[in-house]
Amino acid sequence: MKIYVIGLGVQQHSDFSKEVVAVLNSADVIFGSPRQHEVINHQINHTRTQALPKLSMLKEQITEHKTIVILASGDPLYYGIGRWVSQQFESDQLVFYPAVSSIQSACHQLGLSLQDCEVISLHGRPLSNIKRKLLAHTNLVILTDQNSQPKHLANECLIAGLTDAIIYVCEQLGYADQKVKSFTVDELLKTDIKFDPLHVSVIKTGQQTSKLPSFPGFEDHLFITDGESGKGMMTKREVRLNILSLLSIQNQDVIWDVGAGCGSICVELAYWNNNTNIVAIEHHPERLECLQANKQKFGVNNLSIVNAKAPSGFANLPKPNKVFIGGSGGELNEILKQVWQTLPIGGLLVASAVTENTKHQLLEFMQAQQLHQQCDSQTFQIAVSQSKKLAGQIMYRPNLPVTLFKLTKTEITQ
């Protein structure tokens, strides 16, 4: 079986090489959309075309043939179907023919260097994914669907405080009726312009400071909590930065946040690396509500929330390679035992303690693993004093010290 994935480019009538034309005419079947089939009609001498089914059905239909063509838009391996095909079939079964993509064409229309842009696909993805990208001095090239039209993008700019942003809408690129127009945020919000479904949006955010964070260590007041602004059940910024550093998030990490509270740790973890799976375990109703609100506020769709009490809530969760324990509900010893058994060799456990009882339990656990040479460990205490005004003068009022523990698993627990 041979699968050819052919990019059509941004042209109304594609001008293929002789090699590609030969592939099209020898294929048992050509999968694509009606628009894509129309583009290639003048290049093929048979009618073995089929509508591209859902991906869940495509693999089964592909295996019914020996020579298959899948039509793609532009570069199949850049936000295209090529990635899925590569994941499903062996490389020696695949041949790719890329073409100029709508992303590249939009940048050329606007004179933007592609390396100075960030590309986001919102096609079939939540609109809130754009939140973490809406920062000052940023060029965003966006693939959209019916839920991420230019007016939706303008509203996200408004929420982020980027009211001076310019949004370019590039319609029907490569076709006779191609249009490229620019709009202010206010213009898009006040009108109901209907855009062609075949379009790319580009946002130039400008120099305004975004309301969304641009560096680790969110200010406490940004979080929605079960107390006053910047208070409630959340880990404060000075301590949180240390925890983020200890966890040292990387691509493909699966991290549990046990006793997540209002979500300051898990939200920041998810915000700074989209290629991770963060799982927050929390059972307190008010904190869960805040956790959900913070997930939505910061657009962290790689954060999963589990309404359960640890450790009973661990059942059926994806296996972690890192775990943070911030709350235990009186079940710390059992939580530690189950987490340690679940972690792989090289897995990481980070925990925080405010009370002496919690600190004592963590010290005992750490020492037990050291005794059996099952971990590399470190612990330290953070004492932060915040400035306050007293009689017009600055004074420093200490917060409760927090003790942090970091254990790296070096041997399988029996």
Question: If pLDDT is split at 50, 70 and 90, which confidence band does 200 have?
Answer: very high
What share of residues in the chain are helix, strand, coil (percent, to 5)?
A: 35, 25, 40
User: Would strands 139-143 and 67-72 be described as parallel, antiparallel, or unpaired?
Assistant: unpaired
Structural domains in the chain plus CATH codes: 2-100 (3.40.1010.10), 103-204 (3.30.950.10), 220-409 (3.40.50.150)
Question: If pLDDT is split at 50, 70 and 90, which confidence band does 358 have?
Answer: very high
Separation between Cα atoms, residue 211 and residue 160, nearest integer Å: 5
Are 304 and 279 in contact by the 8 Å Cβ rule? The answer is: yes
Return the pLDDT at 292.
Answer: 96
| Sign (positive or negative) of CA dihedral 174, 178, 181, 187 | negative
Tell me what the mean pLDDT of segment 291-315 comes to: 95
Question: If pLDDT is split at 50, 70 and 90, which confidence band does 359 have?
Answer: very high
Separation between Cα atoms, residue 31 and residue 68, nearest integer Å: 8
Report pLDDT digits (tens) over 247-281. 999 999 999 999 999 999 999 999 999 999 999 99
Q: What is the pLDDT of the chain when averaged over all its residues?
A: 93
Q: Is the pLDDT of residue 233 over 90?
A: no
Structure tokens at 308: 């359960």
Task: Output the furthest CA–CA distance in the chain (Å, rounded).
Answer: 89
Q: Is the pLDDT of residue 184 over 80?
A: yes
Q: Is the pLDDT of residue 12 over 80?
A: no
Residues constituting the chain: 414
